[in-house]
Every structure is written in structure tokens, then in C-alpha cells.
Structure 1
Amino acid sequence: MKYQSTRGGEKGLTFRDVLFSGYAKDGGLYFPESIPRLEPEQLQKMSECSYTEIVKQILRLFIDESEIPTSDLDNLVDAAFTKFVDPADPIKFAKLKDDAVIAELFHGPTLAFKDLALGVVGQMYNYFLSREQRHMTVLIGTSGDTGSAAISALRGLDTVDVVVLLPKGRCTQIQELQMTTVLDDNVHNFAVEGTSDDLDVPIKSVFADADYVNTHHLCSINSINWARILVQISHYFYCYFHMADKVGEKVEIICPTGACGNIASGYVAYEMGLPIEMVAAVTPNDIVHRTFSNGDFSLSENVLQTWASAMDIQVPYNVERMIFMATQLNNERVRDLMAIFESESQTKIPEDILQKMREVVVDTKAYNNDQMIDTMKRCHRENDYIICPHTAVGMAYMYNNKKNLPQIVLATAAPDKFPEAVELSNITPNKNPDIEKLLTMETRFDWMRQGEDWEQILRNRIEKITLAQQG
């Protein structure tokens, strides 16, 4: 298996190459040169596997044995889930009234679905770096959950430093504390006076400097990184097998969506032969909704703050990967479209590409704060079951769009992380001792304030990390 940039500037790369990368050198995103297709009998056999076995099998399809031997790959996957509540069964399912089903993807150390992928990616980093006796600096922008999940996966490792930019005041208190209370020497948090899209600007500028990236051994663990997308493919297979009465039956998976990393993983699963259709449920930051509704891929002036803070994004960069799949991996069409988008902050998805994308992402709806809270109230009233605001966006869609096929909502975070929204829903929050402990812990972070040169601040810290490694 080899990899390429969606825009065609690089081809023939190894998995290791793209694991230790952020954006491609031409500004694109890395993606396989081909997508393996599973036959019905292979799906049937996989349906009998545990979640971790599915992860191992999916990874094996995209990572050559010569890069990570199977025994090593199996060991690093097993190690990745040791921090979960139930390492043998990390995903739980809740069946609610009216046949509603929720996949609880949040039973990892930071109570968010991103633990499922980042624990594995962290093990991969450590595997290669330890073997090569090298060090990397991981650079992350977060809207809420990615930063804490990455820190949890990488904290304390001698082979990695992690630099996180978080939008101060736009994460919940718990999300922020899960990052800023980690005082390990290899963790560096910056609180940015701006939105998650604002903080992506200096990050992308740094990654655009290829010589600088090589000199300082930089990579990203956002869903920019293909490895994140790769690991997340597995929970689509696992959820499908849970819902389908028989392999081959179609299942609808409702995905709360921000930067589209999660739903892009589902798109890859579809291309691999998994008979799913997906729904993108979003907040009023509705670029994804507009894109799939009528091809309007254009930025709004402001990023709105909602209770679903991890989804408050206006630049869903993984749409590029979905366009790439819809064009049957046509680099030229993607490059031309993204050139217009990046120069004008808008473009129109051509009708043939849009129709192909909508065969996979069949519907999309946007829900505001009031609708999130109302949905949280209804879910608790009818089921005595608490959901987080992100999951509420998905449940709002299910409540209003019952269909004649199995439907499942991806619960991307635990409600324990969002006590303010839970209380606003007139629900008594769960008392989670790990969350309560955060409120009394020491914090550490540096500022990136309005008017300052954020890129230079970032470069200064990266250079300091490099000097420390050399000396």
C-alpha cells in the first residue's frame, strides 16, 4: 500500500511517511493510492470478530507487513486500549425507546471518541521512533476533544513532544482542564484568543515550510493525519455488524460532524464495501450541511459558539478527502477545486461530484443550541439516559427522521464532560470522580493573544524543544 497527496504533488509514499506528516507539501491531504475492497464473505467473517480484532484487520489492509509486522501491529493495538474502562470491549451500545440505538464511543481516558484512534496512533509513533531512536514534535489545533485525547496518548513519552493550541473560552471548562492540568515535560499548551479555525492558520503556515518541518521533525495528529482516519474506519464496521440482521443489509449511521474526520472514515468504509449510508448532523456552523445540500462549500464570516463545542468549525478539511473519493481519486479535479476555495474562501462542488458524495452521505441537518437542549431533555425523560450536546445533534436527527432501515447514532463524547449543558437541560449531572478531581488540579499553559505573532510564538516553542533534544 502506497500513499499520495489528494492534489497529486506527492505519490508513492509509505505509511510511515504519512504517519509522520501533517498537510502534504502541496497543501493537500494524504490518502491511499487505492482502497481495498472487501467481498461479502470477508465481511461475514469479520462480523464475528471483536472490536480490537477488526481494528487489527483494517490496519493490516493499509499498512504493509514490511513496515509493521503483524505480531508488532497486534501488540500495539492491544496496548492502545489498556487505558479504556473495558479494554476488551471499548465500544458499548445503548438501546433506547422506539428502537433508537446509540454507539457509545466515549469509554476511553478522556471520555471522547477520539481516544479510539489516538491511543493507536500514539502507539504507532512510539513504535517507529523507539526503533529509529528519533524524536518528533506533534503539533495540534483543537476545538475541544482532540487535544486532550492526543495529550493522553502521548504524555510522558521520551520520543514525542506535543504542542497543543486550544481556543480559550470556546472549549468547555472540563475539556480545557483535561489539557491544561497535564504537567508532563513533553506537553506544551497554548491558549489562543480566537476560534479553532483561527488557530489552524499558524499551524498550516508552519507545515507549509517543508524545510522547517524536516529540521524540527514536525507532524500532526489532527484528523489531517491519515492514521486518525484509518483507525476510525473500524468503528463503522463494528457498529454496522451490531445493527445489521444479516451482512449485506443497509444500515444508516448518524454522525455528529465538525471537521469531517469521523465521517470521512465512514466514507472509506463505504468504499471498502460496507453497505452503509451516513447522515452528517451539524451545528449552526453549517458549512458541511450547505456542502452536501447544494454544493455550497463556502466559509461563513464567524464561527458560532454552541454547546457542541468540538463541532464549532467552519473549515472541515476532510471534505477534501471525500471529494477525492467521489472523483475516483482524481488529483487534478481536487487540486483545481481547492485552489479556488483557498483563494476565494468558497467554491461550488460540481454536480457530478456532489451526486456521488450524496450516495454515501445521504442527508444532513443543522441543529441549534435550543434543539440540542430539547433533545437532551427528551432523551432523558423517555429513557432516563443522559447524552452530551454533540450526541444530541445526532439524536435530534433520528427523532425527526425515522426510516425503514436500522439507524444508529454515534455518541462522540460522554455527558460527564458537559455538566453545564446537562444542568441547563434540568438534568442532574453524573458525579464522575475523575472529572471532579480536575477542578482542583494545578494548570499550566501559555497565551497567544490577539495582536501577537502566533506563528512566531509557535516557531519559538518548537525551536526550544528541538534545542532541548539536541542538548
Structure 2
Amino acid sequence: MQYVSTRGHTLGTFTDVLLSGLAPDGGLAMPQSIPVLGTDQLEQLRHLSYPDLAYEVMRPFISDIPERDLRQLLQKTYQADTFGSPEITPLTPLGTSGLYLLELSNGPTLAFKDIAMQFLGHAFEYVLERENRRINILGATSGDTGSAAEYAMLGKDRINVFMLSPRGRMSRFQQAQMYSLNEPNIHNIAVEGVFDDCQDLVKAVNADAEFKARYDIGAVNSINWGRVLAQAVYYFRGYFALKLPAGAEADFCVPSGNFGNVFAGYLAKLMGLPIGQLVVASNENSVLNEFFEHGTYHVWPAERVAVTSSPSMDIGKASNFERYLYLISGQDAQQTQQWWEAVAGGQPVTLTGTLHWPHVTASGFRSGQSSHAQRLDTIRRIDREYGRLIDPHTADGVFVGERLKRAGIPMICLETALPAKFEETVYEAVGRLPERPERFAGLEARSRYASELPNDSEALKALIARALVARTLGDS
């Protein structure tokens, strides 16, 4: 399988795009084609273990890692000891409501990002050893990606992680989980601004081709195709756990700010998984909801992005949305670039009434949003009726999923994190603190290690250069 940029550049193989982050033309990596599995092929996947299922879903996109090595990477990644059970992503019904929770938050950092990030950690290590290379990962997080990346890369000698986060805009648990790491290859950077500012800094550094090449800059954000591909697997797993007749539809509701998690579901659907609706659940920052309801996408400026009780979705610019536009344009890189240049220039992209809008409606996306009060009520009600505590992002998904559920069609709501990561909001809802794993006891009281930085790409590049020089001197 070969990859191209959403803006036309030829990129190479899976391992080429795994390590590269943004394409040289500023676009995102996409496979040249998406294989479609027939009903009989899907049935053969139904009873596979999680690592074997991951192999069958991912293998068509990964031609440059030998079969034996890829199987070993996936076996090493998806272990019961890492994710709490052999199922890796168990499916739990909410009574007889027809709603289900796909449990994605039993990994090392208690968030769905672990599912893909653990794979990236092992895949990076494998490729870097094979090619005798090093990489310096530059990423941005609104809360969970940073922790998942850092825990996946701990102790990996060929990898340094520079993770940007918006200062003061994550939960206390999220901040402490990241900033308490005192490891030579982990660098936390608190930026003055919102998540979109952090994301823009990552893109600005990637746009400096000379700096990127000199310092071997890579990416683990949802722009990384390896993450999207690994996330597609649990849509297959969740669907098969329903034990539906062959070809029967199921719907999925996905809390989403950056469009990466739900785009993985769209990839699974394009591969032939019988997904009916893909429901995008937004919080008050409803950029994606505006598009799917009204056909207009535009970036919200930082001052418009609200601070909410589901902070990992406090995003005004959905980076993975470019991949979706590329597909509905018929893989027209020139059209995609024109759209994204308009977005970057502050102009909206309106598709309603154009020849592209029918492709949007046919893709099965629907959307909705919820407020702080609705999140609290949903957390309280799910706890009371089903004895299950959920975090505020998952509550966004359950709230929207309930309202868009079709009669007789299962609705799988993707869990995004354990409630322990957002205990202030959970306490406000139910009057008690959620349980947390023993390894995180007293987390907030631990010492913190993070640099503060203005929203300035030159200052960021200088920090990266200094840190790498210091690491080199320390290792010599």
C-alpha cells in the first residue's frame, strides 16, 4: 500500500508516513485506496482475538512490515496485562435500552488514546531499530493524547517526546498525570493559549522543513495515520461483540473534537463494516455539529473556544476533518487544498447545495451537542439507572446517542476516559468521588516537571534545540 497527501504529494509506504507527521505540502497521509471486505470476509473476523483482528484489519494498509513482525508487534501491544482483560475493549450494555458502552479506557492512562498509542510506541521502536534512527516527537494535547503518548514512549532510548498542552485548561488529574513524569526523554511544555494554539505550533514547526529534517521531528497526534488505523480496529471489535446476524447494521456515537476517533469509524465503514449512523457528539464547542447540521465548516478563533467540563473536546479546529473532505471530494487533492486554504484564511467552507453535499449526507454522519447541565444530568442518570459512572466526555456521547438512536438498531457509545480523570465534574454530578487505580493515588500532590512557553513557534524551536543538545551531552 502506498500513501499520498490529501494535497497531492506522494508519500511512500506505511513506515514512511508513520514517522513523518504532516506531509511536506502540509496535508495528511491517506492510503491510495481503501480495501473493502465482503460479508464472508467479515464473518471470518468475528471470533478472532483482539491482536489477530487488529492484524487482519491493519494488514492491507501495512505492506512494508513482514507478517511475522507485524503479528508480534500487535501481540506485544494488545495484552490483558496492559488493558485489564483479554477483550481489550469490552462491550457493556446499558440495561435493555439498546445503548452500549464500548470500554476503551482500561489502558495505562485511563483514556481511549492508549489503544492506538501503545501500538505506536512499539511500532516506532521497531522501525527506528530497523533503520538505526532516532525521532523527536512533537505533539499537542487537550488532555489525554499527551499522557497516552508519554506513557507509551517511556524508556524508549531512540525517542524523545515534546508535548504541548494549554496551560490551566486540563483537569487536575490530566495535568498531574503528565507533569509528574520526570524522565530524560519526556518534555512537557505548557503553552499560553488554547489547544488550537498548541496544534498550530506543531504545524508551524513541521512547516519548517529544514528544522524538521535537522531534528527528526515526528508526530503522534491524531494526524498520524498509524493512530487512525489502530483505532479503526475497535469499531470492528465492538460490532462483532453485539453478535448480530451477518450484514445487520449498528450505529456508533463518538464524542469528538478533533475528528480523529470518529474518522477511524468512517474508515471501518468504508472497509465494509455495517455501520449505519456515525454520530458525532460535541460539547459547547460545536464546530463539527455546525457542519453536519448546516453544511458549513469554519475554524473558531481561540477567544471563542469555551472552557468546558469536557475539556478534551475544547477544540475549534478539527485537524482530521481534512481527511474527510478529501474523501467526499473524490480524493481530489486540488479541491481539498482549496478548501483548506480557505479555512486557514478564516473563510468558511460551505457544501450545502454543492455537488459534494450528497456525499456528506450519504456518508451516514449525524451530530448533536450537549451542555454542562446535560452532562451532569446524564452522568447522574446513568449512575442511578445502570450503576455505571461515566466521565463527562462519554456523557456527551451518551446524551447525543440516546437522542439519535434508531428503533431496533443498537447504538454503541464510545467511552473516552475513566471518570477518575475528571473527578471534579463527576463529584458535582453524583456527590462522590469516582474510584481510581491505586497507582494514581496522591497523583496531584506529586512534583511537577513542565516548562512554560509563550505562543511562539521560534521560542518552541529554541526550546527543542536546547533540550536535545542537553540530552546528547548527558548521554555522552
Q: TM-score range by the shorter chain?
A: over 0.9
Residue type matched to 1:42 in 2? Q
Alignment pair present for 1:447 and 2:452? yes
Count of residue correspondences: 465
Q: 1:314 aligns with which of 313, 316, 337?
A: 316
Measured against aligned partners, the alpha-carbon deviations of 1:184-238 in whole angstroms (never above 9, x if no partner) come to 1000001112100011222111100112111110011000111111111101111
Q: Which residue of 2 aligns with 1:71?
A: 68
Q: Which residue of 1 aligns with 2:359?
A: 356
Distance in 2, Cα, partners of 1:101 & 1:271: 22
1:402–1:134 CA distance, 2 compared to 1 (3 A): closer
Superposition deviation, residue 295 in structure 1: 1.5
Distance in 1, Cα, partners of 2:364 & 2:448: 41
SS at match of 2:269: helix
Q: Which residue of 2 aligns with 1:280?
A: 280
Distance in 2, Cα, partners of 1:421 & 1:358: 35
Cα pair 2:279 2:401 within 8 Å, conserved: no
Cα pair 1:144 1:171 within 8 Å, conserved: yes
Superposition deviation, residue 44 in structure 1: 0.6
Q: Which residue of 1 aligns with 2:111?
A: 112
Cα pair 1:416 1:435 within 8 Å, conserved: no
Distance in 2, Cα, partners of 1:331 & 1:41: 34
Q: 1:389 aligns with which of 362, 373, 392?
A: 392
Query: What TM-score do the two structures reach when normalised by structure 1?
Result: 0.95
Alignment pair present for 1:239 and 2:238? yes
Moved more, 182-191 or 399-408: 399-408
Unaligned runs of 5+ in 2: none
Superposition deviation, residue 440 in structure 1: 2.9
Q: Which residue of 1 aligns with 2:5?
A: 5
Measured against aligned partners, the alpha-carbon deviations of 1:26-53 in whole angstroms (never above 9, x if no partner) come to 1111110111111111101011212221
Distance in 2, Cα, partners of 1:147 & 1:349: 34
Measured against aligned partners, the alpha-carbon deviations of 1:133-189 in whole angstroms (never above 9, x if no partner) come to 211000010001000000010011101000000111111011111110111100000
Superposition deviation, residue 369 in structure 1: 0.8
Q: Which residue of 1 aligns with 2:340?
A: 338
SS at match of 1:355: helix
Cα pair 1:241 1:247 within 8 Å, conserved: no
Alignment pair present for 1:294 and 2:291? no
Residue type matched to 2:131 in 1? E
Distance in 2, Cα, partners of 1:41 & 1:158: 44
Distance in 2, Cα, partners of 1:45 & 1:401: 31
Residue type matched to 2:88 in 1? P
Q: 5 Å matches for 1:40-51?
A: 40-51=39-50
Superposition deviation, residue 362 in structure 1: 3.0
Unaligned runs of 5+ in 1: none
Distance in 2, Cα, partners of 1:465 & 1:74: 35
Measured against aligned partners, the alpha-carbon deviations of 1:293-330 in whole angstroms (never above 9, x if no partner) come to 12211123411111111111110011111111212212
Superposition deviation, residue 75 in structure 1: 1.2
Measured against aligned partners, the alpha-carbon deviations of 1:237-293 in whole angstroms (never above 9, x if no partner) come to 111112251121111001111100001111111111111020001011111001111
SS at match of 1:60: helix
Superposition deviation, residue 465 in structure 1: 4.1
Identity fraction in percent:
33
Q: 5 Å matches for 1:431-446?
A: 431-432=435-436, 433-446=438-451
Alignment pair present for 1:367 and 2:370? yes
Measured against aligned partners, the alpha-carbon deviations of 1:373-410 in whole angstroms (never above 9, x if no partner) come to 11111111111110000000111023323312111100
Distance in 1, Cα, partners of 2:464 & 2:392: 35
Q: Which residue of 2 aligns with 1:257?
A: 256
Residue type matched to 1:440 in 2? A
Distance in 2, Cα, partners of 1:358 & 1:142: 31
Q: 1:410 aligns with which of 411, 414, 418?
A: 414
Cα pair 2:190 2:450 within 8 Å, conserved: yes
Cα pair 1:283 1:308 within 8 Å, conserved: yes
Alignment pair present for 1:428 and 2:469? no
Cα pair 2:426 2:434 within 8 Å, conserved: no
Moved more, 240-249 or 133-142: 240-249
Q: Which residue of 2 aligns with 1:30?
A: 29
Query: What TM-score do the two structures reach when normalised by structure 2?
Result: 0.94
Runs of 4+ in 1 over 6 A off after TM superposition: none
Distance in 2, Cα, partners of 1:12 & 1:421: 43
1:465–1:68 CA distance, 2 compared to 1 (3 A): farther
Q: 1:347 aligns with which of 326, 346, 349?
A: 349
Cα pair 1:243 1:408 within 8 Å, conserved: no
Residue type matched to 1:173 in 2? R
Superposition deviation, residue 87 in structure 1: 5.4
Residue type matched to 1:378 in 2? R
1:198–1:345 CA distance, 2 compared to 1 (3 A): farther
